[in-house]
Structure 1
Amino acid sequence: MRKDELLNAAESLLADQGAGCLTLAAVAERAGVSKGGLLYHFATKEALIKALIERLIADFDELVAAQDESSYTRSYLAATLAAVRSGRLRRWAVVTGAAGDPQLLAPLREAMCRWHRAGMEAEADPMAAQIVRLACEGLWDVATHDPEIYDESQYEELHQRLLALLPSP
């Protein structure tokens, strides 16, 4: 079994049952492998959570890089909306909920700092860019708790309104 399949099983377990139910035995059962098979890839629960967080960061970095926008903030906004619309957002909530140890969340905190500082000196209006990025954070939080709060037309309107805060490219 591949690592991604084990991580998917862990995320699924977290989404369905919460952080308190995240055990290596439960993840192995959800993945349909022996506990030894899981331990081959992840020797501890902390190693599993660390891998989940690293995958989250890499996924979002890839999503931002895949956007064809004129500024980092525009790409960040488009990536956030893509993540929310696709349901990839839920992954953030379940993984951060599982990582009760501040040390485990350190890479995510570092990534958040990097994302919010990236390209700020190149932005025509750094404060407007920061406001848009902070709005993205709020959207992540709200949509995590109520994934169906907005329909496609509302997401598009939100996207356009946030773009309007930024200077034209």
Structure 2
Amino acid sequence: MATVIAAAMGGVYALTAEAAVTCAPSMFKRQMFANTSFSGTPLTTDCDSAIDQDWGTDAPASGLPDDRFGVRWSVTRDFGPGGPFTLIASGRDGGVRVYVDGRLRIDLRGDLRGDARGDLPTPGATAVPTPVSAYGPMPVSQSVDLTIPSGRHTLRVDYVNRSGAAEVAFTAVPLSRSGTVSPPSPR
């Protein structure tokens, strides 16, 4: 049985993990895991209109831990005639990976502790250190320009939180004729 958590235009609808979730074509399917390896059954599966979350130091959903959790968003959408796009991801205190049709396009990694503790596992990969201030890990962001062919393509965004403030954002923006875009400002 489905349970509605929030209902607003383009809102988030939370369903039990066992429920079959079908999201509108413009919505991301969001799965929340009580671990950073995305293993097992997601604790919560719902639909999300955008990836732009700031959970602070709280758990993003009831039953999830405040730290050491993973969130995966996915959507298959029609890119029409295709063309150049800029993918922009940002995060704090964890890692963000963006895939297009299963191919890794953005890899924002946390500190070196990440690989040893199972965060965003990649055999043989080396993590990129996260800038750290007196207030904890600073937001990091990355943008990638790529040409997406016409038709339907699958986007997947994986985010892990280790400890502390959890923030993540992602957008895919058509590249303007001038070839520039404005990335979202980190929180």
TM bucket, shorter chain: under 0.3
Relative CO higher for 1 or 2, CA cutoff 8 Å, sep ≥ 6? 2
Going by fraction, where is strand more abundant, 1 or 2? 2
- Give the TM-score normalised by the residue count of structure 2: 0.25
Going by fraction, where is helix more abundant, 1 or 2? 1
Pick the structure with greater CA Rg.
1
- Give the TM-score normalised by the residue count of structure 1: 0.27
